[in-house]
Structure 1
C-alpha cells in the first residue's frame, strides 16, 4: 500500500507480534558469551518495543564464518525468519559504495583526490567548480544538500515511482553558492555522492552502475547487490515498514523508486553482502596503500544516523570508537530501513545491523537509543570474537 504524501514528507530521509529466531555460531572467545547474551536481549527489546521494527537482523562475519542473529520476520505474515541473503535497501551505506568506486579509480590513476568538480562535470554552479573529490568524499564540500529542499520534496511526492535522471537531482539544490569555504567545515550532504558518481562516469566514459559493478561488486563477490533506478525489490527480501502509523505497520518497500537517491542511497544489498563489502572496503582490498592512508584521515563528524560510540569522518568512511573498541564503517536510513555496517581495521571481521523501519534520533529518540545499543553490542560480539 502506498503511503500518503504527508507521511512521505514527514518520514523520508534523503532528507502483529512475531516469533523470535536466533542462530549463531557457538561462543568460544573470552567475554563473548556475556556480550552475545546482551545482544540477544537488546534485539528482543527493540523488536518488541512500541513501533519497533518488524525485523532486526545482525550479521557478524569473521574468516569464512557468518553468525546471524534475528528477531521477527522478513515480511508480516511470513512463517520464516530473516536470512542472510534477503535483499534490502541499504540507504546511505550506498555512499560507502560510491566511495569505494571512486577511490578504486584513484588507486588506478583514473581520478585524483584533487580532481575538481569543474574539470569533470559541466554545467554546474561556478561556486562548486573548485570543490575536489577529496572534499566530496569527506563531506567538506559546502555544496547544499539537494534532498533537503522544498523543490526536491515537492518533486518526490508528485512522482514517487518515476525518478529524474541522476544529474537532475542536483538541480533541486537551488542555492548556486556553497555554504562555506570548501574544506573548512564538515556537513553531511547527499549532493556530494551524486557528484562523486558523476565524476566516476566522466573518468571512465561509462554509466556509474557499470563502474560500480566492475570496480566493487564483482571483485568482492557481491552477487546480491545492485543499484536499481525503479521501486522494485527482488525477492527474497526484507520488507520495509512505516511503524509510526496507527494500526499495523504499513509496508513501504516499493513506495519510492531507488533513483530518487541513486548513488547517495539507492543501493540494494543483503546482510551477507554488506559484511563482505565492508570487510573488503575497510581492509583495503580495492585500494592501494597511499589512497587508503588518505581515506583514513579523520576529523570530527558523524554519519546519519549516528553510529555507535564517538563518530569521526574520513573519506566515505566513519570511525566509531565504542566501549568495546574501534571499527570503521557507515550508517544509513531511508523509508522503511535503518542500517549500520562496520569492520575491523584489517578487514578480518565485519558486522551489519539491519532493521526494517526508519528509526532516527528525531523521529523516535527512545527507540533510536535502543537501536544504537544494538549497534554497540554487535561491535562487542565482533571484537570479542577476535
Structure 2
C-alpha cells in the first residue's frame, strides 16, 4: 500500500547537542551488522520497473514519504553519457535543487577509498594482503597481532568496533564537534580481545578501516591524507574530495537532515566532527567525483589484475546499510547481485546522509545514489527495504534491463 505523502515543514538548524542526536549516533555507530548475504526485499510500491520515468516517480515518492529524505540525487553514467535524476531540494531553507557538484558526507563509502589505497600499496609491494597487524603495527594489542590486511579489508578480522565503545559514544554525545585524534581511535577498544578467530566469520566493523589506514601509514611513512591525494584524488581528477577532521562543510553542499515525524526536519549537516570516523567514513565529496571514483575503482584501474582477482574473492557479508539485491563482500568492495545484473560498490550512512556507489565490473556503467537523511536497519527498517527496492530498480535502469 502506498504511504501517504507528507511535505517537509520548515527546517530547524541546531549548533549544539540535543536529545534527537543520541538515536542518530547509536544508529550510525552502534548498528548491528546484518551479516551474511542478503537478498532484496519484496518489491512494494516502488516496483514499477527500471525505466527512467519510473525512477523519477519513485524518487519523488521517496521524498514525500514520512521520514524520507528532503532531497535525493541519482547520477547514472553509461560510457560518456551522464543522466541525472533528482527530487526534493539541497536546502529546505532556500529550496535550492541538488547539483552534482554539491558536497556531501560520503559515510562508509569512504571505506572503498581505504581499499583503493591499500590495494595500490599491495601492488607496489609496500604491503601484502597477508601483512599482519603484529608486524606492521606492533603497538596495537598483542591479541590482535595475527590479523591480516586481507581480513581487515573483508571484515573477517574480529576486531572490536571502537564506534560501539561506551566511552567513545559518551564523549561524542557530550561534544559532537569534538576533534578526536583519529590515529588513537582504536585505543578505545585496546583492552578488548578479538570477537572471533581471524578469518573465521564476517562482521562489519569500523575499526577495520582505521587499522588499514594505520597500516598504510606505517608502510609508507606518509600520512593517510597524503596517500589519498597521491593514490586516488590526483590520478582520478577528484578536485572536490577531502578528508577533514572538523565539522564544517565546504560550499556548496547538500544539507543533511534528521527526519523524525511529527517533528520538523532538523539540519544536522555540521553537527558532528568527521574526526571520529576518519578513514572509516569521514570523507566529503560530490556526486560528480564519486562517479569518477567508483568507475575506476570497480574496474581495478588503481591496481593490478592479480590484486583485482584477490579483491573479488567473494564471501558472505553485507555492506551497512545493505545494498540492492544479494550482497557479498570482497576486499574493500561489495558485490550486489540484482535481478537485472551485477554491480560492484559500497554503501554508507551518517547522520543526515545515506549513500550507494556502484559500477559494472568493467567500470563502463555506474551509479551514485545520495539521500539527505540517514536510513539504516536500526533507525528506519521499513524505509530501508523501500530504498533497496528503488536502488535495485536504479540498477535495472542503468543496465537497460527492466525485469520484474
Q: TM-score range by the shorter chain?
A: over 0.9
Say whether the 8 Å CA contact 1:335–1:357 is kept in structure 2. yes
> Relative to structure 2, which stretch is displaced further, 187-196 or 363-372?
363-372
Higher relative contact order (CA 8 A, sep 6+): 2
After superposition, what is the alpha-carbon deviation per residue over 1:98-124, rounded to whole angstroms, capped at 9, x for unaligned? 010110111111111011111112321
Which among 214, 218, 223 is matched to residue 230 of structure 2?
A: 214
What SS class does the counterpart of residue 134 from structure 2 fall into? helix
Q: Which runs of 5+ in 1 are unaligned?
A: 16-31
What SS class does the counterpart of residue 84 from structure 1 fall into? coil
Aligned residues: 370
Q: TM-score, normalised by structure 1?
A: 0.93
The separation in 2 between residues aligned to 1:37 and 1:197, in whole angstroms, is 42
**Offset at residue 159 of structure 1 (A):** 2.7
Which among 357, 360, 364 is matched to residue 373 of structure 2?
A: 357
Say whether the 8 Å CA contact 1:42–1:370 is kept in structure 2. no
Which among 43, 63, 74 is matched to residue 58 of structure 1?
A: 74
Say whether the 8 Å CA contact 1:301–1:312 is kept in structure 2. yes
Q: Which runs of 5+ in 2 are unaligned?
A: 1-13, 31-47
**Offset at residue 335 of structure 1 (A):** 0.5
> Relative to structure 2, which stretch is displaced further, 145-154 or 157-166?
157-166
The separation in 2 between residues aligned to 1:159 and 1:201, in whole angstroms, is 28
> Relative to structure 2, which stretch is displaced further, 57-66 or 170-179?
170-179
> Relative to structure 2, which stretch is displaced further, 358-367 or 82-91?
358-367
Which among 8, 14, 38 is matched to residue 29 of structure 2?
A: 14
What RMSD, in angstroms, separates the aligned Cα atoms of the two structures?
1.7
After superposition, what is the alpha-carbon deviation per residue over 1:15-56, rounded to whole angstroms, capped at 9, x for unaligned? 3xxxxxxxxxxxxxxxx9962222112111110011211101
Which among 170, 181, 187 is matched to residue 186 of structure 2?
A: 170
Which among 34, 45, 62 is matched to residue 61 of structure 2?
A: 45
Q: Which stretches of structure 1, 4 residues or more, deviate above 3 A after TM superposition? A: 2-6
Quote the residue 1:238 is aligned against: 254
The separation in 2 between residues aligned to 1:14 and 1:66, in whole angstroms, is 34
Quote the residue 1:196 is aligned against: 212
Please state if 1:324 is matched with 2:337: no
**Offset at residue 385 of structure 1 (A):** 8.1
Please state if 1:112 is matched with 2:118: no
Which among 255, 271, 277 is matched to residue 255 of structure 1?
A: 271
Which among 387, 393, 397 is matched to residue 371 of structure 1?
A: 387
Say whether the 8 Å CA contact 2:50–2:396 is kept in structure 1. no
Quote the residue 1:311 is aligned against: 327
